[in-house]
Amino acid sequence: MTLNLFAEAELAQPPRREQLATQTFVLRGFALPWLQALLPALRQVVAAAPLRRMVTPGGFTMSVALTNCGSLGWTTDRQGYRYSPLNPATAQPWPALPDCLRELAQQAAAAAGFADFNPDACLINRYVPGARMSLHQDKNERDYAAPIVSISLGLPALFQLGGAQRSDPSLKVPLLHGDVMVWGGVDRLRFHGVLPLKEGVHEVMGAQRINLTLRQAG
């Protein structure tokens, strides 16, 4: 009985905001209230634009499978990294950004101090156990004024938050189902990555982690 009361009290708390750097925040559990609308919308996106493992300009096949929704989508091949209005696999426009996803991203950005976030691109990354994302900067967007909003679903991951140089020390941040990370402003070009995903099965999402990264790209 006492335990149940505790659980209810916890659910009633507003989402916790952790500040990791001047303009970098994790909003714990921020996406949870949206999931009932978001998960079916995501299933439709992935049905129309299947996840696939793309090749980097250096010729490596990424361990993460990806797709996009929104008017622009991030892609990579031997020719380079870029945003494109068309899915190269189908030559069709990417599926539209679901309204609930836009609203979630705007509210998360606002909660981290970034007003008027208007994303035109959502990269969907799928990690299976062992998949990882090496340290990189998000630099393919037209300008860096807008923040990056990154939603984690499914298995927990360790996110590496580095500095302005690749060699800077990095903070390891656990990201759980429903957490939203927002970074921008003076932190916009920080190096970041994701350590290899640990084996596991998430009760809602199964044996995977899905990351949704929303940006103002064009």
HSE-up of residue 106 (Cα within 13 Å, Cβ side): 12
What x-and-dash track marks residues 186-205 binding ligand SIN by CB under 6 A?
A: ------x-x-----------
Judged by beta carbon, residue 5 or residue 74, the one nearer Fe ion is 74
- What strands, in cross-sheet order, belong to the sheet with 133-136? 133-136, 192-194, 157-161, 171-175
Q: Are 144 and 188 spatial neighbours (Cβ–Cβ below 8 Å)?
A: yes
Site for Fe ion in 177-196 (CB under 5 A): none
Check residue 213 for interaction with ligand SIN (CB under 6 A): yes
Closest CA relative to residue 153, chosen from 24, 43, 76, 9: 43
Check residue 94 for interaction with ligand SIN (CB under 6 A): no
Q: CA–CA separation, 67 vs 61, rounded Å? A: 15
Check residue 125 for interaction with ligand SIN (CB under 6 A): yes
Judged by beta carbon, residue 35 or residue 173, the one nearer ligand SIN is 173
Check residue 138 for interaction with Fe ion (CB under 5 A): yes
Check residue 141 for interaction with Fe ion (CB under 5 A): no
198-210 burial, b for 16+ CB within 10 Å, e for fewer? eeeebeebeebbb
Residue 125 binding partner per list Fe ion, ligand SIN, none, with a CB distance cut-off of 5 to 8 Å that depends on partner kind: ligand SIN
Rounded to a whole number of angstroms, the minimum distance from the CB of residue 72 to ligand SIN is 15
For residue 7, the tally of other CB atoms under 10 A from its CB is 10
Judged by beta carbon, residue 138 or residue 179, the one nearer Fe ion is 138
Chain residues that interact with ligand SIN, rule: CB under 6 A = 125, 133, 150, 159, 192, 194, 211, 213
